[in-house]
Amino acid sequence: MQPVVIRWPGGEHAFRLGIGELRAIQQLTDCGPEFLLHRISAAQWRVDDLRETIRNGLIGAGMTHVEALKLVDNAFATAPAAIAFKVPAQEILAAYLYGPPDDPVGEDIPVVPTPETETTADGSSAPITG
């Protein structure tokens, strides 16, 4: 899986959870990734749920353990509120569970023609019958 780039109180960085990072998070939070995502989303998170998800996501994307620890410790020490880490932690876990977001805003969705939207060869609307 490719890393996802996420903006969080520590800056903008690449995050990725591999199996090793996921196992570390499970040991530290005593729950699996989907349960942890649910716990965070349900406003029942603990500080280490957010902290360890972010720290291990940085490590999984290639940052050294020491660099990730310093960055996360500094961000948690200087952030105005712990809640600022909730959404980034959710995004990191969701990227692992469901894959990175691949539906960019503004992407055209093909329209299936219906009698109301079909046009004739000369460009006029097709007659509605019913």
112 within domain boundaries: no
Q: Are 6 and 13 in contact (CB under 8 A)?
A: yes
Please give the pLDDT value at position 116. 53
115 within domain boundaries: no
Please give the pLDDT value at position 14. 97
123 within domain boundaries: no
Please give the pLDDT value at position 52. 98
Helices (H) and strands (E) in the chain, counts: 5, 2
Please give the pLDDT value at position 126. 54
76 within domain boundaries: yes
Please give the pLDDT value at position 27. 97
58 within domain boundaries: yes
75 token code pair: 């961000």
Please give the pLDDT value at position 130. 52
* C-alpha dist (Å) from residue 76 to 32, 65, 73, 113, 118: 23, 16, 5, 52, 56
**Which residue, 91, 117, 113, is CA-closest to 16?**
91
Write down the pTM of the prediction: 0.77
CA angle at 111 for the pair 110 and 116, rounded to the nearest 5° = 170
- Total domain count for the chain? 1
Mean pLDDT, consecutive 10-residue stretches, the chain (130 aa), reads: 93 96 96 97 97 98 98 96 97 92 55 52 57
Q: Which residue range forms the structural domain that includes residue 12?
A: 4-98
